[in-house]
Every structure is written in C-alpha cells, then in structure tokens.
C-alpha cells in the first residue's frame, strides 16, 4: 500500500546566495528530514520545537507552499509539484490544515458560513442547498458548536475559540485523511484549549483521521499524540513514543524543554538554564558538529567535530546525541523505523 504522504531527505535552506550570486552559508531551516505518513492505522504525531526549529517549514513543505531545496515531498507516491490535475484535487481534499491564528484566516466581509460553503461547493459535498445546510449544521454539532449561534454571523461576532472550532469543523467537512494542525490552540484561552484539543482527538477517534500536531507546547503534545518528533534548529533531536520521550527524555535539549515547563504545583520549583553568552545570541548555531553543542551541559569534544546521527535507544525511540553512541544508528529509513513500532502497537490494539 502506498503511503499517504512521504517526505524524503527533504532540506530547506534559506539564503545561501548573496545578492550578487556568490555562494555564502545559508540558514538551514530543515535538514535532511525523512518521514512517512500512513493512512491506516491513523495516528497523531506531534512535532515540537522552539521558534526556528523548522516546524513551520515542515508544514509549508507538506502543503506545497514552499519547495524543498533538496529532497522530495510525495503524495501517494508522486511529487506534490508534479501531480495531475485530478490527483492534485484529491491531495487538496485529503490533506487539510488548521492554522495558528483563528483571527486572521477569516475574510471579515463574509459571514462565517462562507468558509464552510466554499469546500462544499468546491468538492461537491452536497446535492442541493438544503443538503448543504444540513451538512453544515451536522459538522458544527460534531465540534460542539450550536449552529444557531454560529451560522449567519460575521467573524468578529465570534470568540477566538468559536472561530478555531469552525476551522476544525471545516477540516472535518472535507473528511480528509490527514490534518496538519499548526499551533491550533496557542492563541486560544486556557479554558477553551482543552475543548478544541478534545474535538481534534474526536476527529481522529471517530473518523480515523491522522494528524500532525505542530506545537511548542509539550503538555498538549503529550496529551493528544502517540508519537513525538522534537526538532532543534532543523534537525531531529529526539523521536519516538510520546510516553518515553516526555516522561523520560534522553536528549539534553528535550530535557531542557521539559524542565522549562512551569508546573502548576507551587511545591515544585522551576529550575533554570544557566545562561551563557552563546545561548543568547541568535547566531549561536555552530556551523559544524551538534547544533545544540553550545548550550549543552554534557558537551564533549566529538560534539563539536561531527553531527550526531540518530541512535536507537529503545524500540520506540531514537536520539540524536553522542551520549547514546553505544546504541545502533538508525538506518536509511530514518524516523519511520521508530514510528512504525508505535504504529504496529496501535494496529494490534485495534484488532
């Protein structure tokens, strides 16, 4: 069976050429990234990292909004930039996105019905206007919104949480195979976050939709996803089963991320990262070796000389750090080797 989407050795480098065409070192936003998204069994994979880690670049590559500098992005085995008209339409339908800012995705002149009606018309989801109305109402109910409170209104009359849930409804309407949710709750109030995440999880459970959940928030990633990919400055730092990675992080960067979460418990104190001059500067990424070396408390000589490969520390996890070099190096299939382990366990559980 062909995979739904494959990212093969994709890299994205910004800059890299001066104004006069001379080669100079560019900014590597994503470095040699390989991953497969399967249709079945559906899984939720979180991609986490700080600003500049490459997570948005990954989204843009998968949506075809930007072309990889090298490598390829495939939809059902075909490069997304070479799809036939027909497969392009089915790609647009199968892969949906929920963006970060529910305030900016709406055209303020249209009523919110518009964002639901366009896909219905475009993909001919309803035979007649009456059917379309029923379909819209059903979908809104499915994400916990009352149609009478939402339809016929303009975006400014709705709260951020309601707008974001309409986006979830829109994604559901189209019945995609994959939803790429780019920080869907970062602009929403705490009391509504849980509701929106729950409706995303429901889409996954009830309709078998796979999800790529992009975030910098490890707590929500932990709650919603099965697998997690931790990115640091364009490289995968740690990947695998979310329970392993979040509960027992191995990469020093993942450990730092988890320590930095302010916990809702006044008896546990918030440890601090020792600030070094290097870690403050934006140009602190070393040009060779491990990208985290300048901030790493366990840095060794080898870290400054070569970039660490992904070591497979557990069946369901790999870590890109020389601290774990006694473990086997992940093979050519990259992240898929690790991600398959949890996928299989999901499949067995489903049987």
Partner 1 sequence: MVSSVDETQTTQRIETSPLLEVNNLSVYYHTSRGPVKAVENVSFDIRAHERLGLVGESGSGKSTIALALLRMIRPPGQIEGGQVVLDGTDLLRLSEEQMRTMRLNKIALVAQGAMNSLNPVVKIKPQLIDGMKDHDLGLSDKQMDARVAELLDSVGLRKNVAGMYPHELSGGMKQRVCIAIAISLRPKLIIADEPTSALDVVVQRQVMDTLLTVQEDLGASILLIGHDMGLMAQVADRVGIMYAGQFAEMSQSADLFRDPLHPYSQLLINSLPSIEHKGALKGIPGLPPSLLERPVGCAFRPRCPFAFDRCEVEEPPLREVRPNRLVACHLY
The contact set with partner 1 (CB under 8 A) reads: 50-51, 159-162, 189-198, 201, 216-220, 222-224, 246-247, 256-258, 260-273, 275, 277, 280-282
What is the smallest separation between the CB atom of 221 and partner 1, expressed in angstroms? 9
Are residues 92 and 24 in contact, defined by beta-carbon separation less than 8 angstroms? no
Question: Nearer Cβ to partner 1, position 96 or 162?
Answer: 162
Nearer to partner 1 by C-beta: 97 or 215?
215
CB-wise, 131 or 273, nearer to partner 1? 273
Q: Which residues contact 166 (CB under 8 A, 6 or more apart)?
A: 112, 115, 116, 140, 143, 145, 150, 158
Residue 253 near residue 236, CB atoms below 8 Å:
no
Question: Is the CB of residue 241 less than 8 Å from the CB of residue 226?
Answer: yes
**Closer residue to partner 1, CB minimum distance, 43 or 220:** 220
* CA–CA separation, 239 and 58 (whole Å): 15
- Quick one: 87 or 219, whose CB is closer to partner 1? 219
Closest contact distance (angstroms) between CB of 283 and partner 1 is 9
Burial class (CB in 10 A: 0-12, 13-18, 19+), 133: middle
For partner 1, give the closer residue by CB, 93 or 201: 201
| Cα–Cα distance measured from residue 231 to residue 152, given in angstroms and rounded to the nearest whole number | 41
The nearest distance, CB 305 to partner 1, in angstroms, is 26
Token digits for 227? 């697998």
Q: Which is nearer to partner 1, 55 or 343 (CB)?
A: 55
Nearer to partner 1, 51 or 348 (CB): 51
| Smallest gap from residue 153 Cβ to partner 1 (A) | 13
Q: At its nearest, how many Å lie between partner 1 and the CB of residue 259?
A: 8
69, with CB counted inside 10 A (0-12, 13-18, 19+), is: middle
d(CA 254, CA 15): 28
Q: How far is the CB of 266 from partner 1 (least distance, A)?
A: 4
In this structure, are strands 178-182 and 95-98 parallel, antiparallel, or unpaired?
Answer: parallel
CA–CA separation, 310 and 53 (whole Å): 17
Strands, sheet with 5-14, edge to edge from the N-terminal-most edge strand: 27-37, 5-14, 70-75, 78-79
* Nearer residue to partner 1 within complex by CB, 277 or 326: 277
Burial group, residue 35, by CB count within 10 angstroms (0-12, 13-18, 19+) = buried
Q: Are 331 and 349 in contact (CB under 8 A)?
A: no
Smallest distance, partner 1 to C-beta of residue 325, A: 25
Integer Cα distance of 125 and 127 in angstroms:
7
Minimum distance, C-beta of residue 274 to partner 1, in the bound complex (Å):
10
- Rounded to a whole number of angstroms, the minimum distance from the CB of residue 61 to partner 1 is 21
Closest CA to 63 of 53, 71, 48, 75: 75
* Contact in structure between 291 and 312 (CB atoms under 8 Å): no
């Amino acid at each position: 069976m062909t995979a739904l989407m494959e990212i093969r050795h994709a890299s994205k480098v910004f800059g890299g050429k001066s104004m006069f065409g001379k080669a100079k070192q560019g900014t590597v936003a994503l470095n040699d990234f390989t991953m497969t998204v399967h249709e079945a069994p559906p899984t939720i994979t979180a991609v986490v990292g700080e600003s500049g880690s490459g997570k948005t670049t990954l989204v843009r590559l998968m949506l075809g909004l930007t072309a990889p500098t090298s490598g390829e992005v495939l939809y059902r085995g075909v490069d997304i930039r070479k799809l036939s008209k027909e497969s392009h339409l089915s790609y647009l339908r199968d892969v949906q996105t929920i963006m970060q800012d529910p305030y900016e995705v709406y055209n303020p002149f249209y009523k919110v019905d518009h964002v639901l009606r366009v896909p219905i018309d475009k993909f001919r989801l309803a035979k007649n206007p009456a059917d379309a109305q029923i379909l819209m109402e059903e979908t809104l109910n499915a994400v916990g919104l009352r149609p009478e409170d939402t339809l016929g209104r303009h975006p400014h009359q709705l709260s951020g949480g309601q707008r974001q849930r309409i986006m979830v409804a829109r994604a559901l309407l189209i019945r995609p195979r994959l939803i790429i949710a780019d920080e869907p709750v970062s602009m929403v109030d705490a009391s509504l976050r849980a509701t929106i995440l729950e409706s995303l999880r429901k889409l996954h459970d009830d309709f078998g939709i796979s999800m790529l959940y992009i975030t910098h928030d490890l707590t929500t990633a932990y709650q919603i996803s099965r697998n997690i990919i931790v990115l640091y400055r364009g490289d995968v730092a740690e990947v695998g089963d979310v329970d392993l990675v979040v509960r027992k992080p191995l990469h020093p960067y993942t450990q730092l991320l988890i320590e930095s979460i302010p916990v809702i418990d006044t008896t546990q104190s918030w440890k601090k990262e020792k600030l070094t001059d290097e870690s403050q500067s934006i140009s602190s990424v070393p040009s060779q070796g491990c990208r985290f070396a300048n901030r790493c408390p366990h840095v060794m000589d080898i870290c400054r000389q070569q970039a660490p490969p992904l070591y497979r520390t557990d069946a369901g996890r790999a870590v890109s750090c020389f601290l774990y070099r006694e473990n086997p190096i992940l093979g050519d299939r990259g992240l898929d080797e690790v991600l398959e382990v949890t996928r299989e366990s999901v499949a067995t559980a489903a049987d």
